[in-house]
Amino acid sequence: MKKVNFESLDPSIQELLKKAEKVRNHSYSPYSQFKVGASVLTEDNEIFAGCNVENATFTSICAERTAYVKAISEGKTKFKAVAVVGFQENFVVAPCGTCRQFMSEFGNVEIYMAKPNLDEIKVSTLDVLLPCQFHFH
Amino acid sequence: MKKVNFESLDPSIQELLKKAEKVRNHSYSPYSQFKVGASVLTEDNEIFAGCNVENATFTSICAERTAYVKAISEGKTKFKAVAVVGFQENFVVAPCGTCRQFMSEFGNVEIYMAKPNLDEIKVSTLDVLLPCQFHFH
Amino acid sequence: MKKVNFESLDPSIQELLKKAEKVRNHSYSPYSQFKVGASVLTEDNEIFAGCNVENATFTSICAERTAYVKAISEGKTKFKAVAVVGFQENFVVAPCGTCRQFMSEFGNVEIYMAKPNLDEIKVSTLDVLLPCQFHFH
Amino acid sequence: MKKVNFESLDPSIQELLKKAEKVRNHSYSPYSQFKVGASVLTEDNEIFAGCNVENATFTSICAERTAYVKAISEGKTKFKAVAVVGFQENFVVAPCGTCRQFMSEFGNVEIYMAKPNLDEIKVSTLDVLLPCQFHFH
Ligand SMILES: [Zn+2]
Ligand SMILES: [Zn+2]
Ligand SMILES: [Zn+2]
Ligand SMILES: [Zn+2]
């Protein structure tokens, strides 16, 4: 993970981060109070944004997976970058292991992880965040 | 569950079923080959459609949950009806227990379950399909 | 669901309930504070008991599924009855939809649901709690 | 990941691997045909072994999580090492992202990953396999 500056980023990545920040408002997280927004940039430069949706019995779906299934259900399966934005001031959210596994099904992507106001951003890749991936094929 | 006829249904429900049938094309189901489409009708009459998205390690997300998180991430949390359409000729798909639990977080809905070509449709409600629901609140 | 009295139950079911109550102590539930114990009675009259094990990212495993995978990993796949015991005084816990789905893979069972001190017990069956089950086969 | 030789391993790790290999026989995997066994060594040198238990709707539980919930439901929460043994000749199974996340709740462990007959073994650690872990605390 390395730190990057918002202004230095490609406009498409800036937009990706802003959409992740905005969709966070729709987070349904009455159990954890932990609001997260995420967005995914497709190979053909569309952005799909999703929030976490919790469940009383903890079969919740994280923001990253929401963004992915939104994109996939619109026919997209090739992705370039993901942004994740949390809600807590002192905290850069990284995708959980379940999301890393889920995303890995669709290939490597850059992953931008930001503090709530996008004033601290770290970047890595899925292959770095999930080494030695488990795949059937 | 009772059988209903497509022509007898309200136009909004016919549209709901057609969108579930159509989105099924985007199903990502290389492991089960079991394509499913689902759609949800919001209280203010918007429709969100989703497909199942599988994962090598079986942390797959069903079509119904995809439809729900799409809607929720667009700010919708009140729903009236759900449609589920499978792919196998002789088979009316009912939502799995995980999806029933997930949907129950957002209240009761009518559930329309159809064969692939919408030529056989059954209807029930979430409260009937998930009796004695587990909730914290 | 009908109410039953502890004393009126078969000794094997009394034992099943007591083991579910006892294993609840091992519940790992720092996120919900909601301790649950469950146990499953195999066809050859062994009992396997499990608790819920939570996870920061809500890929938790409920007590019922813990009990089942314990039994299955010891070579058992035929079950007669399940007991579930919660922790909150005013609350009879029913299995969540995910657990109902998971258990349904192994056939119908009686399900005993009890208040924390076993002073109120309800009984039902999996087929009643998960009507119109989804199965491939 | 580095390769290690069975004979060179500590007897407790040899035993751990043998138990993971043996419990694999109880795998319930009719959907993937992908049998996996796993075992976990507790701080006080007990071994708990589990297999994968699949579900028609892909809310399956992997062998690693089965081993963990078995141990936890017996009161163990401190672990030293995990072994994972698959079934396919040409394949060293690594834990999936969901299992890595689930295990991370209980701290770092050594992870031994072996081919079916234990004739090829790789070793790593959970912290290496799940960098930048997501935790609330
Ligand atoms: Zn996640
Ligand atoms: Zn489902
Ligand atoms: Zn459950
Ligand atoms: Zn796993």
Per-residue pLDDT in tens (0 to 9) along chain A, 137 residues? 899 999 999 999 999 999 999 999 999 999 888 999 999 999 999 999 999 999 887 679 999 999 999 999 999 999 999 999 998 877 789 999 999 999 999 999 999 999 999 999 999 999 999 999 866 54
Asked if C53 and D72 come within 8 Å (Cβ–Cβ), the reply is yes
Interface test with D, best of A58, A100, A106 (most D CBs within 10 A): A100
Residues 6+ apart with CB under 8 A from A95: A38, A62, A64, A82, A84, A103, A111, A113, A129, D134
Confidence of residue C137 (pLDDT cuts 50, 70, 90): very low
Q: Are B16 and B47 in contact (CB under 8 A)?
A: yes
Which candidate from B93, B95, B101 shows the least CB-CB separation from C96? B101
How far apart are the C-alpha atoms of B117 and B50, rounded to whole Å? 17
pLDDT at B27: 96
Residue located via tokens 């985007």: B26
Confidence of residue D110 (pLDDT cuts 50, 70, 90): very high
pLDDT tens digits, residue range C9-58?
999 999 999 999 999 999 999 988 899 999 999 999 999 999 999 988 77
Question: Could you tell me if residue B135 is inside a domain?
Answer: no
How far does the centroid of ligand 1 lie from the alpha carbon of residue C84, in Å? 28
Question: Could you tell me if residue A134 is inside a domain?
Answer: no
Task: Report the SS3 class of residue B69.
Answer: helix
The pTM of this model reads 0.94
Q: In this structure, what token pair is assigned to residue D5? A: 């030789």
Minimal Cα–Cα distance from D4 to chain A, Å? 17
How far apart are the C-alpha atoms of D3 and D112, rounded to whole Å? 9
Asked if D73 and C65 come within 8 Å (Cβ–Cβ), the reply is no
How far apart are the C-alpha atoms of A30 and D113, rounded to whole Å? 38
pLDDT at A134: 67
Question: Could you tell me if residue B134 is inside a domain?
Answer: no
- Give contacts of C133 with chain B, Cβ < 8 Å: 94, 97
Minimal Cα–Cα distance from D88 to chain C, Å? 19
Question: Could you tell me if residue B70 is inside a domain?
Answer: yes
Residue D108 burial (CB count, 10 A)? 15
pLDDT at A131: 96
Residue of chain C whose Cα is closest to the Cα of B32: C136
Residue located via tokens 């203010």: B44
Question: Could you tell me if residue B136 is inside a domain?
Answer: no
pLDDT at B49: 97
CATH of the domain at D25: 3.40.140.10
Asked if A135 and B56 come within 8 Å (Cβ–Cβ), the reply is yes
Residue D8 burial (CB count, 10 A)? 9
Q: Are D27 and B28 in contact (CB under 8 A)?
A: no
ipTM of the shown complex: 0.92
Q: In this structure, what token pair is assigned to residue B79? A: 């729903």
- The torsion angles phi and psi of A32, rounded to 5 degrees, stand at -105, -15
Q: Are D121 and D5 in contact (CB under 8 A)?
A: yes
Question: Could you tell me if residue B29 is inside a domain?
Answer: yes
How far does the centroid of ligand 1 lie from the alpha carbon of residue A25, in Å? 17
Q: What angle is formed at CA D36 by the lines to CA D30 and CA D39, rounded to 5 degrees? A: 140
pLDDT at B106: 96
Chains with 3 or more CB pairs under 8 A to chain C: A, B, D
Residue of chain B whose Cα is closest to the Cα of A51: B73
Q: What angle is formed at CA A11 by the lines to CA A9 and CA A14, rounded to 5 degrees? A: 65
How far apart are the C-alpha atoms of A128 and A122, rounded to whole Å? 13
Query: Using DSSP, how many helices (H) and how many strands (E) does chain D show?
Result: 4, 6
Confidence of residue B134 (pLDDT cuts 50, 70, 90): low
Range of the domain at B64: 2-129
Residue C70 burial (CB count, 10 A)? 23
- The torsion angles phi and psi of A61, rounded to 5 degrees, stand at -120, 125
The percent of residues in chain B predicted with pLDDT above 90, rounded, is 82
Minimal Cα–Cα distance from A123 to chain B, Å? 24
pLDDT at C32: 86
Asked if C26 and D74 come within 8 Å (Cβ–Cβ), the reply is yes
Q: In this structure, what token pair is assigned to residue A90? A: 């002192």
Chains with 3 or more CB pairs under 8 A to chain B: A, C, D
User: Looking at the DSSP assignment, which residues form a beta bridge with residue B79?
Assistant: B42
Residue of chain B whose Cα is closest to the Cα of D29: B58
Asked if B57 and D62 come within 8 Å (Cβ–Cβ), the reply is yes
Rounded-to-10 torsion of CA A65, A66, A69, A73: -170
How far does the centroid of ligand 4 lie from the alpha carbon of residue B82, in Å? 31
Q: At what angle do helices C11-23 and C63-72 cross, to 10 degrees?
A: 110
| Residues of the binding site of A for Zn(2+) | 62, 96, 99
Task: Report the SS3 class of residue C17.
Answer: helix
How far apart are the C-alpha atoms of D135 and A34, rounded to whole Å? 12
Backbone torsion region of residue C41, taken as left when φ is above 0, otherwise alpha when ψ lies between -120 and 50, otherwise beta: beta
As for how many domains chain D has, the answer is 1
Asked if A59 and C58 come within 8 Å (Cβ–Cβ), the reply is yes
Q: Which amino acid is at C82?
A: V
- Ligand nearest, relative to CA of residue D36: 4
pLDDT at A137: 44
pLDDT at C101: 94
pLDDT tens digits, residue range B40-81?
999 999 999 999 999 887 778 999 999 999 999 999 999 999
**Minimum mean pLDDT range among A118-132, B30-44, D88-102:** D88-102
Minimal Cα–Cα distance from A57 to chain C, Å? 7
How far does the centroid of ligand 3 lie from the alpha carbon of residue B89, in Å? 32
In the predicted structure, residue C108 carries a pLDDT above the cut 90: yes
Asked if D101 and A98 come within 8 Å (Cβ–Cβ), the reply is yes
Chains with 3 or more CB pairs under 8 A to chain A: B, C, D
- The torsion angles phi and psi of B119, rounded to 5 degrees, stand at -90, -5
How far apart are the C-alpha atoms of C11 and C81, rounded to whole Å? 13
pLDDT at C136: 53
DSSP at A13: H
> Which of C21, C43, C46, C64 is labelled catalytic?
C64
- Give contacts of A56 with chain C, Cβ < 8 Å: 96
pLDDT at B137: 44
- Ligand nearest, relative to CA of residue B67: 2
More confident residue, C134 or C72: C72
In the predicted structure, residue D58 carries a pLDDT above the cut 80: no
Distances (CA, A) of C102 to A59, B55, B134: 13, 18, 16
Q: Are C41 and C16 in contact (CB under 8 A)?
A: yes
Average pLDDT, rounded, for chain C: 93
Q: Has B54 been annotated as catalytic?
A: no
How far apart are the C-alpha atoms of B109 and D37, rounded to whole Å? 41
DSSP per-residue codes, C39-103? EEEETTS-EEEEE-B--TTSB-B-HHHHHHHHHHTTT---EEEEEEE-S-TT-PPPPPHHHHHHH
Question: Could you tell me if residue C136 is inside a domain?
Answer: no
Question: Could you tell me if residue C134 is inside a domain?
Answer: no
Asked if D134 and A96 come within 8 Å (Cβ–Cβ), the reply is yes
How far apart are the C-alpha atoms of D137 and D127, rounded to whole Å? 16
3-state secondary structure C18-51: HHHHHHHHHCECCCCCCCCEEEEEECCCCEEEEE
How far does the centroid of ligand 2 lie from the alpha carbon of residue B99, in Å? 4
Q: Which amino acid is at B98?
A: T
